[in-house]
């Protein structure tokens, strides 16, 4: 039997419970990140972003600004 949201009964959980489960699954994957190595394109992109940040360290957006922008977009 293959594992699926139906065979595990996940589809019967409330949305909030499913979201919490997704967070827990994601955290467990992140904790074992060595088990999921980066692809070459991912590594190239990360290197590009690091180089861009090092060349432009003041070119940032604060977390507060990001949250405000997202909230504004969601209210439209």
pLDDT band per the 50, 70, 90 thresholds, residue 3: very high
The whole-number average pLDDT for the span 23-49 is 91
Res. 37 pLDDT band, cuts 50 70 90: confident
CB neighbour list of residue 38: distance below 8 Å, 6 or more residues apart: 46
Is the pLDDT reported for residue 55 higher than 90?
Answer: yes
Q: Are 71 and 64 in contact (CB under 8 A)?
A: no
pLDDT of residue 56: 96
Domains in the chain: boundaries: 1-36, 38-76
pLDDT at 63: 95
Sign of CA dihedral 41, 46, 47, 53: positive
């Amino acid at each position: 039997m293959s594992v699926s949201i139906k065979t595990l009964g996940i589809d019967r959980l409330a949305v909030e419970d499913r979201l919490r489960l997704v967070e827990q699954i994601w955290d467990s994957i992140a904790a074992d990140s060595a088990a999921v190595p980066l692809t070459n394109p991912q590594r190239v992109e990360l290197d590009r972003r690091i180089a861009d940040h090092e060349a432009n360290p003041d070119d940032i957006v604060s977390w507060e600004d990001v949250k405000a922008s997202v909230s504004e977009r969601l209210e439209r």
